[in-house]
Homo-oligomer: A and B are copies of this chain.
Amino acid sequence: MKLIKAIIKPERLDSVKKGLEEIGIYGMTIYEVQGRGEQKGIALQYRGGTIQVDSIPKMEVNIIVKNSEKQKVIDAIIAAAVTGKIGDGRIFILPVEESVRIRTGEVIRDE
């Protein structure tokens, strides 16, 4: 299994959710985070000076998927989250060793 961590613009969350639903992915966990990208945030012009605003609110969506579903989930997120502008965010993929459903205690392993 993989953990897909997608850091996206908050206003794209709804469309990401919808995009994932369309490919049958429902389970996810969502975090409100502050992000700073490689551009160091956004520079505002102010009275001749410039103020750098880093720490921009983002949403992070975590999805655990089977290895086989990884690529289609990434594609769906990109399709739903992309605006083409700076700050669109990142997706990171981490390996997951196992997963347990608390309600039933059932253990899921994949690969």
Q: What is the interface of chain A, defined by CB distance below 8 A to chain B? A: 1-3, 6-8, 17, 21, 26-31, 33-40, 54-55, 58, 60, 64, 74, 77-78, 81-103, 105
Contact = CB atoms under 8 A, between A and B. Distances in A.
A29 B37 CA distance: 8
Copy count, this protein chain:
3
A51 B1 CA distance: 32
Nearest to A87: B103
B99 A86 contact: no
Listed residue (A77, A86, A90) with the most chain B CB atoms within 10 angstroms of its CB: A90
B102 A93 contact: no
A17 B54 contact: yes
B40 A55 contact: no
